[in-house]
Amino acid sequence: MVGCGRAITEYFRGKPTNRDVKDVLSNCEDNEMALCVVQLLMAHFGEDLTGLVLLTNVSATAADVETTLTLPASPRLILLVSGGTGQVTTGRWMITLEGRVISEGITPTFLTGLAAVFAIYYIFNLQYQEEAACTLEFIQRRFIGINPERGTKAIRGKTLCGSTGKERNKDQQGDGHLYLNQKIPLCIRTVHTHPESS
């Protein structure tokens, strides 16, 4: 995520797509790169950060989180942070599902928490929540490398064969994929990561 994240950050610094992106850029200097990238993507897609991540005090326990925050049914990454919503210093993290804390992270990085959230989606075979669907789909395709254009995760349908004119079954990209491609600048969709030189 570091190489691609840097390219995404540089792209938005050069061409901020909206005011929310500009606000994120002004506040993300001290944040982890992965957190900054997720905030930028969510701002670009017009999604609110609370659609994926909730922030609470660094000293909060699982019981505190369940009683003080309004927890939705869909998975959320709870970051236990010091500082305000602008400058975030990540401490521990938790994952909630169906309004309950189901996991507490032992590695205090946003990236491990994000990976754990993705594991929850795949373990429980959950659909992405509407509030963060574009960002999660982008992360899935760009950073994790899962592109369900074929196979069991692809949306299937009927199409006309160009050469014969007959109807046939074909793996196809769903409307969400078309929408996502319209919302992502081409240079971000085609960013390639290169091994960092030591």
Per-residue pLDDT of the chain (198 residues; tens, 9 = 90+): 777 888 999 999 998 889 999 999 988 776 788 999 999 999 999 999 999 999 998 889 999 999 999 999 999 999 988 765 555 666 789 999 999 999 998 887 889 999 999 999 999 999 999 999 999 999 998 888 887 666 555 555 555 445 555 555 544 444 444 444 455 554 444 443 434 433
Could you tell me if residue 39 is inside a domain?
Answer: yes
Q: How far apart are CA 91 and CA 109, in angstroms?
A: 7
> So what's the pLDDT on residue 147?
79
User: What's the rounded Cα separation, in Å, for the pair 31 and 146?
Assistant: 27
Q: What is the pLDDT of residue 146?
A: 84
- Contact between residue 31 and residue 5 where contact means Cβ atoms under 8 Å apart: no
Between the two ends of the chain, the Cα-to-Cα distance in Å is 17
Question: Per the domain annotation, does 175 fall within a domain?
Answer: no
pLDDT of residue 90: 66
In a domain, 185, yes or no: no
Spatial strand order of the sheet with 53-57 comes to: 53-57, 76-82, 89-97, 100-104
Instruction: Please report the pLDDT score of residue 191 as a whole number.
Output: 42
For residue 31, give Cα distances in angstroms to 37, 42, 110, 125, 187: 10, 15, 10, 31, 24
pTM over 0.75: no
Per-residue pLDDT at 82 = 77
Q: Which residue has the tokens 């994952």?
A: 95
Into how many domains does the chain fold?
1
Domain assignment present for 170: no
- Quick one: pLDDT at residue 99? 95
Looking at the domain assignment, is residue 111 inside a domain? yes
Tell me how far apart the alpha carbons of residues 101 and 75 are, in angstroms, rounded to a whole number: 10
pLDDT at position 28: 79
Domain span at residue 67 reads 2-147
- Is the distance from CB of 88 to CB of 35 less than 8 angstroms? yes
Rounded Cα distance, 154 and 8, in Å: 27
Domain assignment present for 196? no
Residue 123 maps to a domain: yes
Residue 187 · residue 11 · CB < 8 Å: yes
Can you tell me which residue has the tokens 């006309």? 160
In a domain, residue 119? The reply is yes
- Long-range contacts at 148-151 (CB < 8 A, ≥ 24 apart): 149/173, 149/177
